[in-house]
Amino acid sequence: MNVNAIIQNQSLKAYNTFGIDVNARYFAEFNKIETLSEVLASATFQQNKQLILGGGSNILFTKNFDGIVLHNLLKGISKVQVSEHDYHVSAAAGEVWHDLVLYAITNNLGGIENLSLIPGYVGASPMQNIGAYGVEIKDIFVSLKAMEVATGLIKTFTKEECAFGYRESFFKRAGKGKYIILEVTFQLSTKHQLNTSYGAIEQELAKMNAEPNIKNISQAVINIRSSKLPNPKELGNAGSFFKNPTITIAHYETLKKQYLDLPGYPINAQNIKTAAGYLIEKCGLKGFRKEDAGVHQMQALVLVNYGKASGHQIFDLSSLVIEKVKENFGIELEREVNII
Ligand SMILES: Cc1cc2nc3c(=O)[nH]c(=O)nc-3n(C[C@H](O)[C@H](O)[C@H](O)COP(=O)(O)OP(=O)(O)OC[C@H]3O[C@@H](n4cnc5c(N)ncnc54)[C@H](O)[C@@H]3O)c2cc1C
């Protein structure tokens, strides 16, 4: 790799949707696997802390990054028919997620229409098993290819090996920082199994006067998301900052005596998932703002940067939210966003 291709002191402001103004000591982009292999073999890479960056929509930089940031620009989408109705669609990790959704819809392939408009790149989608409107990528995931940082070898991971959970995977746990995801393969189908039961999809379709099909569901999801979530281009944010917590049913029943409308989605015989946004709102923090760091006025699960907030200020605000929710409900919220 040409050493000139590694830039020094690159601002990351345009590379994270919070719009946090920090620098990376070293920064390199790659659009070919060969280039990535060369970067991995370079002394700059091997002697420094490393971070692989996609769209920067699930990350909070709390300080300058004293190491090398690799920005993934691998492109390409292809499909192979595997049965009468089913296709394996493989997308390079640097493809924008929503572009993959559009590709699927254009090719009459169902399965990811409910995941329309989730920001970020395909390569990060397995990291936290992205999900929305009743669908997670684990539902249509086949396999992925990733380069092992230590050896430069490319390994294929099955769904089982990815150990997907709610906003979780092997790559956020034991595999953290050890692999660079290069390509992800999904099974999509021309025999559509529509899922309109979640959220306000049905109401939105009725409002649109549109029949349920993959194209209209995608549009309905786009409409709902655009009306509910702040656009990072206008107001810095990383979507849901916290995971929805799982508590015991006994704990839930106790809280429900005081909070009659406390949401609950049973997970198993002992546990129930509740809504972090509800808890934050009940702590009186919806719309709370300290300098330029705030809890969004319409969606308490989203923390926002009103302009010049530092990553530290956003992080401190998230700690305050965790403290207040713990104090009021005895529930420990977990951050969903990757803190760097
Ligand atoms: C407005 C808004 C709405 C959102 N809504 C949702 C939602 O509905 N559901 C949902 O699940 N998420 C949602 N998110 C979060 C985010 O869009 C997803 O987590 C997305 O997958 C992040 O992709 P990214 O490319 O931006 O990842 P980045 O922020 O760049 O990276 C996230 C993590 O993945 C790692 N990573 C990135 N690429 C690779 C790679 N190729 N190999 C290995 N590691 C990698 C990074 O090091 C980092 O730890 C939302 C975010 C925003 C801003």
Instruction: Inform me whether the pLDDT recorded for 323 exceeds 80.
Output: yes
Compute the distance from residue 120 Cα to the ligand 1 centre, in Å. 5
> Amino acid letter at 144?
L
Closest protein CA for atom 17 of ligand 1:
119
> Is 322 a pocket residue for ligand 1 (Cβ < 6 Å)?
no
100 lines ligand 1 (CB under 6 A): no
The DSSP annotation for 83-122 comes to: SSSEEEEEEETTSBHHHHHHHHHHTT-BSSGGGTT--SBG
Residue 4 has pLDDT above 90, yes or no: no
Tell me if 175 CB under 6 Å of ligand 1: no
The residue ranges of every structural domain in the chain are 3-72, 77-228, 236-339
Res 132: pLDDT: 95
Measured distance CA(24)–CA(9) in Å, rounded: 5
Cβ-in-10-Å burial (0-12, 13-18, 19+) of 265 comes to exposed
- Reduced to 3 states, what is the DSSP secondary structure of residue 137? helix
Mean pLDDT over all residues of the chain?
A: 96
Q: Does the structure show a pLDDT above 60 at 1? A: no
Q: What is the CATH number of domain 3-72?
A: 3.30.43.10
Return d(Cα 263, Cα 266) in angstroms, integer.
Answer: 10
- Indicate which residue of 240, 310, 318, 335 is catalytic: 240
Distance 213 CA to ligand 1 centre (A): 27
From CA 275, how far away is CA 291, in angstroms rounded? 26
Does residue 17 line the site of ligand 1, with CB under 6 A? Answer: yes
Axis-axis angle for helices 214-228, 201-208 (nearest 10): 110
- Give 105's strand partners: none
Please tell me the predicted confidence (pLDDT) of residue 14. 97
Q: Residue 150: is it exposed, middle or buried by C-beta count within 10 angstroms (0-12/13-18/19+)?
A: exposed
Contact in structure between 93 and 177 (CB atoms under 8 Å): no
Q: In this prediction, what percent of the chain has a pLDDT beyond 90?
A: 97
Going across the sheet that includes 179-189, the strands are 77-81, 86-92, 179-189, 141-148, 154-158
- Catalytic site residue 240? yes
Q: What is the pLDDT of residue 309?
A: 97
The answer on pLDDT for 122 being more than 50 is yes
pLDDT per position as a tens digit, 224-234: 999 999 999 99
pLDDT digits (tens, 9 = 90+) for 295-321: 999 999 999 999 999 999 999 999 999
Q: Answer yes or no: is the C-beta of 126 below 6 A from any ligand 1 atom.
A: no
Kindly state if the Cβ of 94 falls inside 6 Å of ligand 1: no
Indicate if the pLDDT at residue 2 is higher than 60: no
Q: Tell me: the pLDDT tens digits for 10-25?
A: 999 999 999 999 999 9
Q: pLDDT band for position 5 (50/70/90)?
A: confident
Active-site residue flag, 318: no
**Choice among 167, 204, 218, 225 that is catalytic:** 167
Question: Is residue 118 a contact partner of residue 167, using CB atoms and an 8 Å limit?
Answer: no
Residue 3's pLDDT is what? 47
Known catalytic residue at 319 = no
The predicted pLDDT at position 340 comes to: 97
The CA 50 to ligand 1 mean position distance, Å, reads: 17
- Class of domain 236-339 as given by CATH: alpha beta
Per-residue model confidence as pLDDT tens digits over 247-299: 999 999 999 999 999 999 999 999 999 999 999 999 999 999 999 999 999 99
Fold of 77-228: 3.30.465
Chain-centroid distance of CA 119 in Å reads: 7
pLDDT mean over 313-332: 98
Whole-number Å distance, alpha carbon 31 to ligand 1 midpoint, is 19
Q: Among 20, 49, 58, 298, which residue has the most ligand 1 atoms within 8 Å of its CB, making it the best to mutate?
A: 58
pLDDT tens digits for 160-219? Answer: 999 999 999 999 999 999 999 999 999 999 999 999 998 799 999 999 999 999 999 999
